[in-house]
Amino acid sequence: MAILIDPPLWPAHGTWFSHLVSDASLAELHAFAAAAGVSTRAFDADHYDVPARMHDDLVTRGAVSVPAGELIRRLRASGLRIPARQRPHYRRAALLSRWEQMVPEAAPGTAATLGNDLLDRWEETHRSYQTSAHLLDVLEALDLLCVPRKAPRPVLLAAWFHDAVYRGVAGVDEQASAELAQSTLAGAGLDRTEIDEAVRLVLLTRDHSPGPGDTHGALLCDADLAVLGRDEAGYARYQRQVRAEYAHVTDADWRTGRSAVVKHLLAQEPLFRTRVGAARWQAQARANLKAELRGL
């Protein structure tokens, strides 16, 4: 378990930069960076970009200097490495393009404004898991579930709004997100029937329990829960991110609350309602949840 730094090899802004990472946890990395006076603005998904003038001081403070190749290998092995396509600036452009294609009837300029406003919400600094990365994961899961067709637009709209308001208060967040969807989409000139369905689906994410025959609900809930079917490293990253969003909660209260959530998910039968979702994620998700519950 170590804080690692590579040589200042990366040119930008008239100087050279190093990468500062942890091979154990982002919490460790953020704590080290804060103590060393590294600006939070220097953080980029899984590392800090630090100027050459800070390199020696960071090594003195305990960062281990390693070649760039070794730093990347150890970061990947830790499960903390974020692919380039998921980094905030790439991700935002990809998501904004998806949004504008989804609401072509919006007045010129309105679609981009609404999309940027939504993405600003998804990228609020207090979020660790419910971020624009999660939004993109849900949209890409819907792509997989609906191949070769596109997901129905009300389902896509609900995906965009289902955690648009996020304060970590179950039930209240979903209600506020649904109200935001109602007002925003009405202002964009969308059909009332589609808006009402999107609002219904946002509210459905309170318990992820779509009824029999609710095709739209099954698609959204499966896409939202697809994270549970990640491999071991991916699931561990998800656990760290969720815990970080509840950093204000004591460990004892966290174990109690999280255990209730995990038990609720394990009680869902089936956990995934679509044929494709069940085949792709169900077995791994149940294994992950059972392992997490044992750990709690």
- Amino acid letter, 271: L
- pLDDT given for residue 9 in this prediction: 86
Q: How far is CA 239 from CA 145, 267, 294, 296, in A?
A: 24, 19, 14, 11
End-to-end CA distance of the chain: 22
User: What pLDDT shows up at residue 51?
Assistant: 94
For residue 54, what pLDDT is reported? 96
In the predicted structure, residue 106 carries a pLDDT above the cut 90? no
Residue with more model confidence, 13 or 262: 262
Mean pLDDT of the 79-101 span: 82
In this predicted structure, what is the pLDDT of residue 84?
Answer: 64
pLDDT at 85 over 70: no
Mean pLDDT of 39-59: 93
Q: Cα(50)–Cα(36) distance, rounded to whole angstroms?
A: 11
The tokens of 126 are what? 């207090």
Concatenating the DSSP letter of every residue in 49-113 gives EEEHHHHHHHHHTTPEE--HHHHHHHHHHHT----GGGSHHHHHHHHHHHHHHH-TTSPTTHHHH
Q: Please state the rounded mean pLDDT for residues 27-53.
A: 93
Q: What pLDDT score was predicted for residue 148?
A: 83
What is residue 120's predicted lDDT score, i.e. its pLDDT?
94
Integer Cα distance of 105 and 187 in angstroms: 11
- Phi first, then psi, for residue 224 (nearest 5°) are -70, -35
- The separation between CA 279 and the C-alpha centre of its own chain, rounded to angstroms, equals 23
**Residue in 182, 293, 203, 181 with CA at minimum distance from that of residue 239:** 293
Residue 36 has pLDDT above 90, yes or no: yes
Residue of 103 and 214 predicted with greater confidence: 214
Whose structure tokens read 């069940």? 278
Is residue 1 pLDDT above 70, yes or no?
no
8-26 average pLDDT score: 90
Per-residue pLDDT tens over the stretch 159-191:
999 999 999 888 899 999 999 999 999 888 899
Task: Summarize the confidence of residues 280-289 as an average pLDDT.
Answer: 96
pLDDT value at residue 93: 86
pTM, whole model, 2 decimals? 0.73
Residue-wise pLDDT for 224-283, tens only, equals 999 999 999 899 999 999 999 998 999 999 999 999 999 999 999 899 999 999 999 999
Strand partners, 4: 21, 64
pLDDT at 204 over 90: yes
Arithmetic mean of pLDDT over the chain: 92
Contact 44, 86 (CB under 8 A): no
- Any idea what DSSP says for residue 227? G
Residues 6 or more apart in contact with residue 82 via CB below 8 angstroms: 45, 46, 133
Q: Are strands 48-51 and 15-22 parallel, antiparallel or unpaired?
A: antiparallel
Cα 214 to the chain's mean position, in Å?
25
